[in-house]
């Protein structure tokens, strides 16, 4: 009778949570903001300087005031009316066109005559009054191509009437030259700062590309700037120290393996020679546990160091069958059945032995926790995933959080494991860019699902 249990539905794998790191201000932004602030301060200083200078020169202010009004008149004149309202804050304001043929304009008794007698030229006169000042003067105005002469007189006090003049001055002499200059400076700075930061960006890319597999790689030292060069040198020195530490760690792993396994072997074989007794069986069991612990610690050390390549093409179904074959005798001894199903398409890039150990640890774990006489179900696929499911008590949410911690056991007093198996599973899965999740199926038990990334190499080679 062919059997079947439901292959898991494909779920979208690889939905990695991206931890959004708080944005720290970039060096580029810091420099740009500071430059902008300095430019603003300079602009304000400039404005202040202009205002200060003009306030010390009332004569030129008076001159400008009349010239500004005359400019307005050029476009506002209707007939003989110059159409001027005068500067703000005027106590008295008078403006009228003058007939150049008359040496003394109309109303000359109340207004000042030309200081030059008869010749018509632009002139300005500023007088102090009791509380304020009077400005009078003549301007040549071009109205619709016709040259006319405008006589203006203004009486007022304070600085209020000069506001338009000063504003005009600011636009003409501060804003117009300063704004394009600032923009150009800013653009240049953006360009320059980007260029200066380029070596940093390159170094960052290289550091990102560092691989614990290949610790001999060093970051290229840029010729300039010196700050980046020294930083890169410091990173390279740190890499050197890490490289040394990794080498020591790896050789330690290999040495520890040898040093621990040989005495375990001697113990195993010596106990074997003892006459059959309960104690002998107990000793053999202890030795088996000790062996398992040593194996797991070494597996874990190796997984931690990520001291293996994960780019071979691995068929999860094939490795799953191997693992099931290897562990079936152990399962039979425990009175339990293993059931394997190939749901198809379970090809990944990985390390076959590492994948085998993930299977083995998960099946071991299931054997330790299964209850009743339901089989342990192992399925590869569909797609780059496999799962191991038992019909034990399941995993509570609280335990699920601890399950992958090293040396964690639900009940420390019982059981034979050291609590390393699932830690190895997670570490090895992560080394493949994969994830392990625990599910509690509705029909009971626990299901450990290992999901790997899609096999990139296969797709590329197609």
Partner 1 sequence: MRLLLVEDNARLANLIRDGLDRQGFAIDWYETVEGAVHAVQIGGFDLILLDLGLPDGDGLELVRSLRAGNNPTPILIMTARGGLDDRVAGLDAGADDYVVKPLEIPELAARCRALLRRPGATLSTILQAGNVSLEPAERMVSVKAQKIEISPREVDLLELLMRRAGHVVAKPAIENALYSMDAEVTPNALEASISRLRKRLVAASADIEIKTVHGVGYALFIPVSANA
Which residues from 228-257 bind partner 1, rule CB under 8 A? 253-254, 257
Name the minimum Å distance from CB 448 to partner 1: 18
Select the span of 22-30, 77-85, 177-185, 263-271 touching partner 1 (CB under 8 A).
263-271
By C-beta, is 48 or 212 nearer to partner 1?
212
Q: Is 279 in the site for partner 1 (CB under 8 A)?
A: no
Q: Is 324 in the site for partner 1 (CB under 8 A)?
A: yes
Site string for partner 1, 295-314 (x = CB under 8 A): x--xx--x----xx------
Name the minimum Å distance from CB 456 to partner 1: 21
Which residues from 173-202 bind partner 1, rule CB under 8 A? none
What SS3 string covers the chain? CCCCCCCCCCCCCCCCCCCCCCCCCCHHHHHHHHHHHHHHHHHHHHHHHHHHHHHCCHHHHHHHHHHHHHHHHHHHCECCECCCCCCCCEEEEEEEEECCCCCCCCCCCCCCCCCCCCCCCCEEEEEEECCEEEEEEEEEEEECCEEEEEEEEEEECCCHHHHHHHHHHHHHHHHHHHHHHHHHHHHHHHHHHHHHHHHHHHHHHHHHCCECCECCCCCCCCCCCHHHHHHHHHHHHHHHHHHHHHHHHHHHHHHHHHHHHHHHHHHHHHHHHCCCCHHHHHHHHHHHHHHHHHHHHHHHHHHHHCCCCCCEEEEHHHHHHHHHHHHHHHHHHCCCCEEEEECCCCEEEECHHHHHHHHHHHHHHHHHHCCCCCCEEEEECCCCEEEEEECCCCCCHHHHHHCCCCCCCCCCCCCCCCCCHHHHHHHHHHHCCCEEEEECCCCCCEEEEEECCCCHHHHHHC
Q: Which one among 341, 388, 390, 452 touches partner 1, defined by CB under 8 A?
A: 341
Q: Which one among 64, 69, 169, 342 touches partner 1, defined by CB under 8 A?
A: 342
By C-beta, is 90 or 246 nearer to partner 1?
246
Select the span of 121-129, 157-165, 335-343, 387-395 touching partner 1 (CB under 8 A).
335-343
By C-beta, is 175 or 264 nearer to partner 1?
264
By C-beta, is 347 or 378 nearer to partner 1?
378
Residues that bind partner 1 (CB under 8 A): 1, 3, 253-254, 257-262, 264-270, 272-273, 287, 291, 295, 298-299, 302, 307-308, 321, 324-326, 328-329, 332-333, 337-342, 351, 353-354, 357, 375
């Amino acid at each position: 009778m062919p059997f079947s249990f439901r292959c898991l539905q494909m779920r979208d794998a690889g939905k990695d949570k991206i931890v959004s790191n708080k944005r720290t201000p970039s060096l580029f932004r810091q420099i740009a903001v500071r430059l902008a602030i300095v430019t603003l301060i300079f602009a304000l200083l400039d404005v202040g300087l202009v205002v200060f200078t003009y306030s010390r020169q009332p004569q030129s202010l008076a001159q400008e005031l009349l010239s500004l009004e005359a400019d307005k008149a050029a476009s506002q004149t209707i007939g003989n009316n110059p159409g001027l309202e005068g500067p703000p804050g005027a106590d008295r304001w008078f403006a009228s066109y003058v007939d150049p043929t008359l040496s003394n304009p109309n109303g000359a008794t109340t207004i000042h005559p030309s200081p030059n007698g008869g010749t018509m030229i632009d002139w300005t006169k500023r007088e102090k009054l009791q509380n304020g000042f009077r400005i009078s003067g003549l301007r040549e105005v071009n109205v619709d191509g016709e040259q006319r002469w405008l006589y203006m007189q203004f009486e007022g006090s304070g600085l209020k009437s000069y506001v338009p003049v000063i504003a005009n001055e600011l636009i003409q002499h501060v804003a117009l030259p300063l704004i394009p200059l600032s923009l150009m400076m800013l653009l240049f700075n953006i360009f320059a700062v980007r260029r200066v930061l380029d070596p940093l960006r390159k170094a960052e890319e290289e550091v990102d590309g560092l691989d614990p597999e290949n610790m001999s790689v060093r970051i290229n030292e840029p010729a300039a700037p010196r700050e980046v060069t020294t930083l890169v040198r410091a990173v390279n020195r740190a890499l050197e120290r890490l490289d040394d530490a990794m080498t020591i760690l790896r050789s330690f792993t290999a040495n520890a393996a040898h040093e621990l396994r040989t005495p375990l072997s001697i113990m195993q074989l010596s106990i074997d020679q003892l006459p059959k007794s309960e104690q002998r069986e107990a000793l053999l069991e202890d030795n088996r546990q000790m062996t398992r612990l040593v194996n797991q610690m070494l597996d874990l050390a190796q997984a931690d160091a990520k001291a293996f390549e994960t780019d071979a093409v691995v068929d999860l179904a094939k490795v799953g069958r191997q693992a099931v074959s290897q562990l079936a005798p152990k399962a039979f001894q425990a009175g339990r059945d293993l059931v394997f199903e190939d749901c198809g398409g379970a090809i990944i890039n990985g390390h076959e032995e590492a994948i085998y150990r993930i299977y083995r640890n998960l099946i071991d774990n299931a054997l330790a926790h299964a209850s009743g006489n339901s089989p342990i179900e192992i399925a590869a696929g569909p797609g780059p995933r496999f799962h191991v499911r038992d019909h034990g008590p399941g995993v509570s949410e609280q335990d699920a959080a601890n399950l992958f911690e090293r040396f964690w056991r639900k009940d420390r007093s019982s059981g034979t494991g050291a609590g390393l198996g699932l830690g190895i599973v997670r570490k090895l899965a992560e080394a493949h860019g994969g994830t392990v999740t625990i599910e509690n199926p509705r029909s009971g038990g626990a299901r450990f699902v290992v999901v790997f990334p899609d096999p990139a190499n296969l797709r590329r080679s197609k």
